[in-house]
Chain A
């Protein structure tokens, strides 16, 4: 990471907060690469594994896996990288892919602990986007074609999943102010307004 011109924007977000959309706007504004689910393709390439395995483990730790971790007494050596298909090993491939992408060019990463993975990057802005529950529910209803009750359930589950994923792999706490450079509620200014506000914050932080 000696190329000092590159910068990265890492966006953590609540499910349905519009983080993906805001990330897309910012990527367009700055003219840089945008990675959300696209990270999984990078990870598949990095490992030589099928993308299926990364999708299966994407941003959550399965119930069985979190309860009964992949380490079983006696049968495994206690080294998660010994088995390359363990969640821990897949995460390592994914974060190596993120690091390589960040080294190549400036980019926006949404989710996948990118802020933690790239914590030593000299020029990064770590952002967390939340939103009021009504707005999140409305957005999820529209995006996923589900009813309000289901949307609220998904939103709450999403928070739990992302928090347990993030808190397990990083040394930080998901959604806590001190983890990020800026935390913002997208309901206040709307998607465009939030992106605009973040843009000026980013430019000041990075001296652009």
Chain B
């Protein structure tokens, strides 16, 4: 208890810059690890199997995201619920939540896996697959979907590990999957000549090993929270609350996945199969920068939240400023790489000259407004840190949905394939403007309220 109190006090006194470093670095490492995971998979598939395999893989992204959306619905919901109960030292209910999560993931994992397997071909065609790309997408997805139960259970237990006071163990589990996957990928793809299937087996196997390790951790009877008999019976209240809390992350993830489907279909229509692969490459590279920015933002949250609550408005704005600066440095680096050496980035994934050229061209357009996107993401997060979840969700939707969808529909009519690439930076720009306006308004309000409350005292 005293440990928590001292770390809380620290948030109000230690220099903001040092605090931000201390809180952001672990988050940045975790975010980098998970985006490297995706990148490595794509690199091995592109280099080991071929250009069309990259396109096939890119088509499966939204389907995998949808599966992850279901997984994170249970994971995030249960983790929040668990935190609340552990905060009250209510270990009995916390145990029940753990047991219920295991069962829920089992059910959801199997149901989603089976349904997606049965309708796999129609789904993939709808997601933008062609006769050429579908064999790769199908081969890959069949194995991933067979392992879907494992994926869900792994994601769910990882979320619970975090909220059960073992954030470092959850990070180890993530890193473990990355390392195993990196070792198995070349072994399966090159050594055993398994093609794209090899990459899928490597992914599932890595998750199985991580899952086994998680079960070992949760079987330790010395822990207040462990697996035991009698906790697996689903309780209506736990299931309902879990889904109610997890619904918004689920919906946001689902929206993101719909947008990728829209992009992929547009790319297939105006640029063919290779364009989808090109976007897959660009996406993988740029995702790394976005994830680092999100890691920095996670570091900002506790600092901004505490100081806002304690009325240290100057510290609130200082941490926001530092976050925006560092986010801008990261996204500007992404901009420079995307403008200057996109060919080099694409070459890591494939040796197909046409695909490299297409990916480089796309990347150059997409990163045009990257230098200001760091500001947009940081501010979106800032609203969440000070308890304005609604505004935060709205801003996040402006960039990823509200302006992007109309742009994706309208632009290709004028500029064909380039129109789709251009839709993304256009939406970034408009979202940045909206964000700036909302921040200025909020800034005024906060300063006024701050002055008013000072006057009272």
Binding site for B on A (CB under 8 A): 47-50, 53, 56, 64-86, 88-89, 91-92, 95, 116-117, 119, 167-169, 171, 173
Contact = CB atoms under 8 A, between A and B. Distances in A.
A148 B421 CA distance: 59
Given A64-B389, A79-B163, A70 B310 contact: no
B338 interface: no
Contact of A72 (B75, B387, B389): B389
A73 B389 contact: no
A101 B76 CA distance: 33
A79 B162 contact: yes
B384 A70 contact: yes
B220 to A, nearest CB: 21
B298 A77 contact: yes
B6 interface: no
B252 A72 contact: yes
Determine the interface band of chain B, counting residues with CB < 8 A from chain A.
35 or more
B80 A78 contact: yes
A49 B310 contact: yes
Contacts of B153: none
Contacts of B12: 48
A86 B93 CA distance: 21
Given A65-B389, A77-B27, A71 B245 contact: yes
B302 A78 contact: no
Given A72-B252, A73-B253, A171-B93, A80 B84 contact: yes
A75 B396 contact: yes
Nearest to B30: A77
Nearest to B27: A77
Contacts of A71: 76, 80, 245, 248-249
B253 A75 contact: no
Contact of B308 (A75, A77, A85): A85
Contacts of B83: 79-81, 88
Contacts of A70: 384, 387, 389
B455 to A, nearest CB: 14
7 contacts: A48-B12, A50-B311, A65-B389, A67-B247, A80-B83, A85-B305, A88-B87
Given A91-B84, A117-B88, A171-B93, A84 B306 contact: yes
B248 A78 contact: no
Contacts of B380: 75
Contacts of A78: 75-76, 79-80, 159, 162-163
A48 B389 contact: no
